[in-house]
Structure 1
Amino acid sequence: MKFIQSLENVVTPANGWAATLGAAVAPAFQYFYGNDRRDILVVMLFMIALDWVTGIYAAKKDNTYSSEYGLSRLPRTLFLVALPALANLLDRVMGTPGFLFYGVTFGLIYHTWTSLTANAHRAGWPMPKSIVNLVGSEIKAKAERAARKETK
Structure 2
Amino acid sequence: MKFWQSVEHAVTPAHGWAATTGAVVAPVFHYFYGTGRADILVVLLVCTALDWVTGIQAAKKQDKTYSSEYGLSRLPRTMFFLALPALANLLDRVMATPGFLFYGVTFGLIYHTWNSLTANAHRAGWPVPKAIVNLVETEIKAKTERAMKQKEGK
Fold conserved between structures, TM > 0.5: yes
Which residue is 1:84 aligned to? 85
Q: 1:71 and 1:108 mapped to 2: Cα distance?
A: 20
Which residue is 1:49 aligned to? 49
Which residue is 1:17 aligned to? 17
Q: Does 2:140 align with 1:139?
A: yes
Q: Secondary structure of the residue that 1:41 maps to in structure 2?
A: helix
Q: 2:107 and 2:150 mapped to 1: Cα distance?
A: 30
Residue ranges of structure 2 left out of the alignment (5+ in a row): none
Paired residue type of 1:60: K
Which residue is 1:129 aligned to? 130
> Number of aligned pairs?
152
Paired residue type of 1:63: K
Paired residue type of 2:90: L
Divergent runs of 4+, >4 A: none
Shift of 1:35: 1.1
Cα deviations by residue, 1:11-49 (Å, 9 ceiling, x for unpaired): 111111011000100001110011111111010111001
Paired residue type of 1:150: K
Which residue is 2:152 aligned to? 151
Q: 1:72 and 1:8 mapped to 2: Cα distance?
A: 46
* Map 1:108-127 → 2, pairs under 5 A: 108-127=109-128
Paired residue type of 2:45: L
Which residue is 2:106 aligned to? 105
Shift of 1:7: 2.0
Residue ranges of structure 1 left out of the alignment (5+ in a row): none
